[in-house]
Amino acid sequence: MTNYDVAIIGGGGAGLTAAIYSARARRSTIVFEGLVTGGLIATTDIVENYPGFPDGINGFDLAQQFHKQAEKFGAETAYERVEALGRLPDGTFELRSNERTIRARAVIATAGADYNKLGVPGETELTGRGVSYCGTCDAAFFAGMDVIVVGGGDSAVDEGMFVARYARSVNVVHRRDVLRASAILQERAFATPNMQFTWNSVVERIEGEGQVERAVLRNVKTNEVSTVATSAVFVFIGQTPNSHLLEGLVELDAGGHAVVDLQMRTRVPGLFVAGDLRTQAARQLISAAGDGATAAISAEHYLTDLDGRAGSAK
């Protein structure tokens, strides 16, 4: 069985940045990337808010650069899914992927979160063509246009207000007649002149020829169906973190995100969590990358400490 100093679960912005830092610290490092490099960022058409790319960069291309940079410094990358993670009595970790089992002295989990989907016709086909799960990323593409935001939580209101800085109008479609969002965000949303609310309504279908053109809404109280012209449908109905590997090992918050401290440490020594998988993440590529760097530096301190203790015991 192969042993590594650091095993990283997830090949998004957090995981690949952690790999760059860990490999540059001369620690033997493996990154399990799953099926594709980049995680959520690989599905983003143009990333305009990552510093260093004033003209924007395709998300898939940027992820490939992260991957190349990690390999350049000696990180091993694997297109394998980690299916089980356990801590052995000696404090090391065992990871079983769909192809093999390895051991690592430290683990950085960055498996991310998936946006919840509406699951309605047109949503998948028009994702990246007007259907978006990130206002901060995509609002600028809809300057001067009429758009829909779905959801009633903090994300819908917060991101909806961001979108309202660009769009001509933002129609918040919510399935109830009260928002779940915090009071202060609600106050700001109600005071945003180009933000309207369609209550007790759900999106039944998203339509358009190669680009979102309209949405079919249904009032859940009256069952009345209406068609609304829109250039985009921003969906903010929560996220599901990919935390199943961590269940029973680390503390999870109410939403299933791993609880970490500012050094990305969990309550398990040697197990770090970074990016969208951790509690209170800003859910941006740049913050995920920052988390990845922090986690790798913390893992390095942890290993140095272990090595020092082993040395002084000799």
Residues of the shown chain interacting with ligand NAP in the complex, contacts defined by CB under 6 A: 118, 150-156, 158, 175-176, 180, 202, 236-239, 255
Nearest to 197 by CA among 178, 210, 215: 178
Q: Cα–Cα distance between 164 and 224 in angstroms, integer?
A: 27
Which of 5, 138, 158, 276 does the annotation list as catalytic?
138
- Closer of 44 and 155 to ligand NAP (Cβ): 155
138 in active site: yes
CB of 168 to ligand NAP, least distance (A): 24
- Closer of 96 and 175 to ligand NAP (Cβ): 175
CB of 173 to ligand NAP, least distance (A): 8
**Alpha helical stretches, state H, the chain:** 13-24, 59-72, 135-138, 154-164, 183-190, 285-313
Q: Is 242 left (phi over 0), alpha (psi -120 to 50) or beta?
A: beta
Q: Cα–Cα distance between 72 and 136 in angstroms, integer?
A: 31
CB of 185 to ligand NAP, least distance (A): 6
- Closer of 167 and 237 to ligand NAP (Cβ): 237
Q: Cα–Cα distance between 129 and 122 in angstroms, integer?
A: 10
Tokens 């009633």, located at residue: 152
CB of 63 to ligand NAP, least distance (A): 23
Tokens 């490939």, located at residue: 64
154 in active site: no
177 in active site: no
- Closer of 92 and 116 to ligand NAP (Cβ): 116
Q: Cβ distance 76 to 31 under 8 Å?
A: yes
- Closer of 81 and 175 to ligand NAP (Cβ): 175
CA 50 to chain centroid, in Å, comes to 15
In the complex, residue closest to ligand NAP by CB: 153
Q: Cβ distance 215 to 228 under 8 Å?
A: yes
Q: What residue type is 29 in one-letter code?
A: T
Inter-helix orientation angle 13-24/59-72, to 10°: 20
Classify strands 271-273 and 131-132 as parallel, antiparallel or unpaired: unpaired
- Closer of 239 and 242 to ligand NAP (Cβ): 239
Which of 137, 158, 276, 291 does the annotation list as catalytic?
137
Which of 5, 90, 114, 134 does the annotation list as catalytic?
134
CB of 283 to ligand NAP, least distance (A): 8
**Rounded (5°) CA angle 181-183-188:** 90
CB of 25 to ligand NAP, least distance (A): 32
Q: Would you please indicate which residues are annotated as catalytic (active-site) residues?
A: 134, 137-138
